[in-house]
Structure 1
Amino acid sequence: MAKILIVLYPDPVTGYPPDYARDSIPVIKEYPGGVALPSPKAIDFVPGHLLGSVSGNLGLKDWLETEGHTVVVTDDKEGPDSVFERELPDADVVISQPFWPAYLTAERIARAEKLQLVITAGIGSDHTDLNAANARGITVAEVTYSNSIGVAEHTVMQVLVLVRDFVKQHQIAVDGGWNIADAVERSYDLEGMRVGVFAAGRIGRAVIERLAPFGVRLSYTDRFRLPAEYEEKYGLTFHESIEELVKEIDVLTVHAPLTDETRGLLNDELLATMTRGAYIVNPARGAIADRDAIVRALESGRLAGYAGDVWDPQPAPADHPWRTMPHNAMTTHTSGTSLSGQARYAAGTREILENWFEGAPIRPEYLIVEGGAYQGTGAHSYAKQPVHADEQQAS
């Protein structure tokens, strides 16, 4: 029997919901491209319920305990006396979400002598030191595709919120005002703007496909060029590098994984080459941007707005400057954890566990590392320059 340590975000401050705004969520039969949704043998939750918090426990606790496993579910992950630190040394499996990550540094992995499997309930495993996991032969998996469309939808929303200056306009309404000039002095149409997409993987392509009907001019850069017929369909211009891309756009959306190559990439030097008054939306990883460089660019007017769903570290401290910098539309890493997305990544987490307990293969698209090497999605996204989780440890 195994010990499973599950780190999830806290329940709502008002308590676990007794009811929900909707009675159901739409049934999605397949992901774009025909990829199958998670297919566990069973689920112990109601799709559309809050699963990502402690009381929701990803719908796993009852099932795992019935099977004889030891389960620890906590939101306490910060500092040497946290539940996470105390329970980690003899854990066989660690599960957390990118929105409330259990940072598995090389030092923590060294102390976790029994650790065999790390699961990201969602997408993005850079909170685990992948070099250390490879060295130990630990399997790292995530629920690829589970919330890609949710993040793409959030990205499109934030692009529109910035360009139309929605935050200010809404606040005027909340405050009882009606000054039209104040409301529109920084508001523009998205139509006709040049939008650049940094990394055209699953999320980046979904953003391209959703922004194209707005009449924008689309460009992108990626390690792997998209097929010519796809570029033609969406009127895409390919750039060999991010440095070339940012010179030619009004809006940049960021969808790259966090690697040694992308860490701090959006710095003073790169921002200085962008069109004055450009916007950036970053739902990928906070550390891809130089924190203070973004603040300086907004204060100087180099950037007209910055929105993102990701911070460094996470959770961000109360005095993080991105909370109060001008012309921001930040959210607290919620794009991928809608109630719809939670149903999919909870089901995918159970599928991974079922396979692992049975000694069956884990789907290649779920795998990041296995057997001491990058596999599946990991070989595509992380293998070139893996990240070091100790550099973005939150505790």
Structure 2
Amino acid sequence: MKVLAILYSGGKHAEEESRLLGTTENQLGIRDYLQSQGHEYIVSDDKEGPDSVFQKHIVDAEVLITTPFHPGYLTRDLIEKAKNLKICITAGVGSDHIDLNAAVEKGIQVLEVSGSNVVSVAEHVVMSILLLVRNFVPAHEMIERGDWQVSEIARNAYDLEGKVVGTIGAGRIGYRVLQRLLPFDCKELLYFDYTALPEQAARTVNAKRVEDLKEFVSKCDVVTVNCPLHEGTKGLVNADLLKHFKKGAWLVNTARGAICDKDAVAAAVASGQLNGYAGDVWNVQPAPKDHIWRTMKNPLGAGNGMVPHYSGTTLDAQARYANGTKSILENYLTNKDQEPQNIIVGKKGYETKAYGQR
């Protein structure tokens, strides 16, 4: 069979560091495994346009592997052309690059390596919160350019202690964020989720559920987005919701870029309604060079903590999602049942997951 993998190019860095498994150079470490069984393995980062490696080979590939960091967007049109496609595997977490409804109609399985990124992303969330609240980025930029004006930085630097922090989505990542925030002695930890945490779990992190989203954001000094992207969450943080945020609140999004309205967020940062926005996910990846999130600033010339999508692809996470991808492939090739938590679309159709289960 043909296995097609759309990964990101690591260049010389991947040549020097073999643990960069999610790259085109190191190929998830599964080439020898697949070829030893006689399978064809096509790996590329070329994914745009009808002449791309992605679109040329998707027509007869049986397996598609891609990552959330450099996704091959599998649209309904491409699914119609993919006559042999049986299974799509995300080397990582997230399936929003695939038209799931079309996959269900065509009987194509969609799986991910659930849980492979949870620790990595949760740590990145806490780091991003601190970067914004402590006004770290402009402080470092000041040092790089040779300046030293403490008051310029301190005028917009705060402690996390005593602040109200809330997560939209309290699943695998959101819950771990709450766990990691406990030592900071926040005034209150809140969560918004369609499903309440088990009572003992909520007590463990001393978190209170707020059932109305507008009420939730109005209470928070910091909001972090930790829910999956689907039809119910696309554009969830929009101009209307942003009006209900505390003026000067901070927003962190490491879930999916399209959960937040790009232009509404930029306008809120520019006006000071948001004191800052940080994250590593973009509505299109790679983000265009003129993407407004690259350069947006608050009225004090700060408040931007955006980075490329890497929170879930640390070297530790890459080892987990490479191993998980191989396990999913082995189950598929030997007709064994897949682990339930990895299934987005199974043999019998769509597997519904809880709102916060990301």
TM-score bracket for the superposition, by shorter chain length: over 0.9
Is the aligned partner of 1:63 residue 2:33? yes
Provide the rounded CA distance (Å) in 1 between the counterparts of 2:355 and 2:86.
22
Q: 2:206 aligns with which of 235, 243, 250?
A: 235
Partner of 2:108: 138
Matches within 5 A, 1:319-334: 319-326=290-297, 327-334=303-310
Partner of 1:185: 155
TM-fit CA distance, 1:193: 0.3
Matches within 5 A, 1:348-363: 348-363=324-339
What SS class does the counterpart of residue 89 from structure 1 fall into?
coil
Provide the rounded CA distance (Å) in 2 between the counterparts of 1:9 and 1:59.
14
TM-fit CA distance, 1:372: 3.9
Partner of 1:338: 314
What SS class does the counterpart of residue 247 from structure 1 fall into?
helix
Partner of 1:101: 71
Is the aligned partner of 1:250 residue 2:248? no
TM-fit CA distance, 1:261: 1.3
Partners of 1:136 and 1:372 within 8 A in 2:
no
Provide the rounded CA distance (Å) in 2 between the counterparts of 1:272 and 1:18.
48
Matches within 5 A, 1:128-207: 128-207=98-177
* Same amino acid, percent of matched pairs: 47
Partner of 2:350: 374
Runs of 4+ aligned residues of structure 1 deviating over 4 Å after TM superposition are none
Mark the CA change 1:366 to 1:381 in structure 2 (over 3 Å): closer, same or farther. Answer: farther
TM-fit CA distance, 1:177: 1.7
TM-fit CA distance, 1:233: 2.7
The one-letter code sitting in structure 2 at the alignment partner of 1:136 is K
Partner of 2:183: 213
Q: 1:118 aligns with which of 83, 88, 108?
A: 88
Partner of 2:300: none
Provide the rounded CA distance (Å) in 1 between the counterparts of 2:353 and 2:157.
42
Partner of 1:318: 289
Q: Deviations over 1:192-247 (max 9, x none)?
A: 00001100000000000001110111000111101222222322111113222101
What SS class does the counterpart of residue 86 from structure 1 fall into?
helix
What SS class does the counterpart of residue 72 from structure 1 fall into?
strand
The one-letter code sitting in structure 2 at the alignment partner of 1:256 is C
Deviates more, 1:70-79 or 1:260-269: 260-269
Partner of 1:270: 241
What SS class does the counterpart of residue 90 from structure 1 fall into?
coil
TM-fit CA distance, 1:295: 0.7
Alpha-carbon RMSD across the aligned residues, in angstroms, is: 1.4
Provide the rounded CA distance (Å) in 2 between the counterparts of 1:250 and 1:370.
40
TM-fit CA distance, 1:135: 0.8
TM-fit CA distance, 1:17: 3.6
Provide the rounded CA distance (Å) in 2 between the counterparts of 1:282 and 1:271.
14
What SS class does the counterpart of residue 306 from structure 2 fall into?
coil
Flag structure 1 segments of 5+ consecutive residues without an equivalent. Answer: 20-45, 384-395
The one-letter code sitting in structure 2 at the alignment partner of 1:4 is V
Provide the rounded CA distance (Å) in 2 between the counterparts of 1:355 and 1:91.
18
TM-fit CA distance, 1:382: 9.9
The one-letter code sitting in structure 2 at the alignment partner of 1:263 is K
Provide the rounded CA distance (Å) in 1 between the counterparts of 2:287 and 2:52.
18
Provide the rounded CA distance (Å) in 1 between the counterparts of 2:295 and 2:150.
24
Q: Deviations over 1:244-275 (max 9, x none)?
A: 21011100000111111111111111101111
Q: Deviations over 1:77-111 (max 9, x none)?
A: 01111110111100000000001111111111110
TM-fit CA distance, 1:18: 2.4
Partners of 2:178 and 2:205 within 8 A in 1:
yes
Provide the rounded CA distance (Å) in 2 between the counterparts of 1:79 and 1:365.
33
Provide the rounded CA distance (Å) in 1 between the counterparts of 2:199 and 2:345.
31
What SS class does the counterpart of residue 5 from structure 1 fall into?
strand
Is the aligned partner of 1:259 residue 2:230? yes
Provide the rounded CA distance (Å) in 1 between the counterparts of 2:356 and 2:170.
15
Provide the rounded CA distance (Å) in 2 between the counterparts of 1:102 and 1:382.
24
TM-fit CA distance, 1:4: 0.2
The one-letter code sitting in structure 2 at the alignment partner of 1:313 is V
Provide the rounded CA distance (Å) in 1 between the counterparts of 2:173 and 2:146.
38
TM-fit CA distance, 1:58: 0.3
Provide the rounded CA distance (Å) in 1 between the counterparts of 2:13 and 2:95.
29
Mark the CA change 1:15 to 1:146 in structure 2 (over 3 Å): closer, same or farther. Answer: closer
Partners of 2:257 and 2:283 within 8 A in 1:
yes
Partner of 2:9: 10
Provide the rounded CA distance (Å) in 2 between the counterparts of 1:280 and 1:15.
32
The one-letter code sitting in structure 2 at the alignment partner of 1:165 is N
Mark the CA change 1:125 to 1:234 in structure 2 (over 3 Å): closer, same or farther. Answer: same
Flag structure 2 segments of 5+ consecutive residues without an equivalent. Answer: 298-302
Q: 2:341 aligns with which of 357, 361, 365?
A: 365
Provide the rounded CA distance (Å) in 2 between the counterparts of 1:350 and 1:241.
41
Q: How many matched pairs?
A: 351
Provide the rounded CA distance (Å) in 2 between the counterparts of 1:87 and 1:6.
10
Partner of 2:275: 304
Q: 1:281 aligns with which of 247, 252, 256?
A: 252
Provide the rounded CA distance (Å) in 1 between the counterparts of 2:13 and 2:112.
28
Provide the rounded CA distance (Å) in 2 between the counterparts of 1:90 and 1:51.
25
